[in-house]
Amino acid sequence: MTTARDPQRVDGWTAAVRERLGLGRLLPLGGPAEGAWIAETAAAAVLRGAAAHPGTVLGKLRIGPAEEAMAGAPAAPPGPGAPAVAPAPPGALPPVPLRIEAEFSASLDRPLPDAAAALRSALLTAAAARLGLKVTEVDLTVTALLADGAPDQVTARTAPAVPVAGADGPVAEAAAGVPGVVSLTRVLGSPVLTAADHVRVEVATAGNRAAREVARSVHTAVTAALDRPLPVSVLVTDVVGPADGTGPSGSGSIGGSGA
């Protein structure tokens, strides 16, 4: 029997709200001990920017568990004496290999296998270097051929605004002061959620720094600022600005055009 207080039902409701807020899936940044996730919309915006090359137009893009992760055995629980790990945000994916699925249009002046290989390489490189995602599969589908003179650009996606929050208190100030943190955010609730057994922090990161590395630094800073030892998790809800840090928001949720 399922009741209104059933944890699975609560998590499902929270995940549905999260989707409605425009975050998409919450993707793992690193292993279980790192306790870091990034919103799919933020990650997708970075990937779209990396894929903006002449001759291809990127369409739909989703990021989820790789087939090997779906087929694999569930992770074993931590053994005795293992350090405490903060729980994942509601509905977040566990630390598993990821898969990118994308549709694209290509021009006629280049063989399709070459265009697909270049796009796959750009997506894999950006996922690893700019985000820190463990992507093991990229599934590309050609949906159309571009006529001569067609614009070569990534299709725009509009994302809902990510609410920015001020730094209130020593923990929030420690997180906000980390290089690469553009602002604290409050999509799932308070920018710093302090529960009895863990702390969760929401941040927007700069596009010229790897999201995973910034999340690690936030984790370290927040852990040091706590008045008692607690596991810490970090959620990156937005990536602001392109790789060189000179333009509008990469995902459009704080200050630019959407993904």
Domain boundaries, given as residue ranges, for the chain: 24-39+157-240, 45-71+92-146
What is the model's pLDDT at position 137?
Answer: 96
| Ramachandran class of 18: left when φ > 0, alpha when ψ lies in -120 to 50, beta otherwise | alpha
- Between 20 and 107, residue with greater pLDDT: 107
Q: Which of 22, 17, 12 minimizes the C-alpha distance to 238?
A: 22
| Ramachandran angles phi, psi of 22, nearest 5° | 95, 10
> Is the pLDDT at 65 greater than 80, yes or no?
yes
Tokens of 117: 């290989």
Alpha helices in the chain (DSSP H): 7-20, 40-50, 67-71, 112-126, 170-176, 211-225
Q: How far apart are CA 230 and CA 232, in angstroms?
A: 6
Q: How far apart are CA 219 and CA 74, in angstroms?
A: 26
What is the model's pLDDT at position 85?
Answer: 81
- Contact present, 251 and 182 (Cβ < 8 Å): no
Kindly indicate whether the domain formed by 45-71+92-146 is annotated with CATH number 3.30.300.
Answer: no
- The CATH fold of domain 24-39+157-240: Alpha-Beta Plaits (3.30.70)
What is the model's pLDDT at position 113?
Answer: 93
| 101 exposure class (CB count in 10 Å sphere: 0-12, 13-18, 19+) | middle
| Ramachandran class of 252: left when φ > 0, alpha when ψ lies in -120 to 50, beta otherwise | left
User: What are 96-135's pLDDT values in tens digits?
Assistant: 999 999 999 999 888 999 999 999 999 999 999 999 999 9
Q: What percent of the chain has pLDDT over 70?
A: 74
- Type of residue found at 43: A
pLDDT mean over 81-107 = 87
Q: How far apart are CA 256 and CA 252, in angstroms?
A: 4
Residue tagged 């990536």 (tokens): 239
User: What are 44-56's pLDDT values in tens digits?
Assistant: 999 999 998 888 8
Model confidence at 1, pLDDT cuts 50, 70, 90, reads: very low
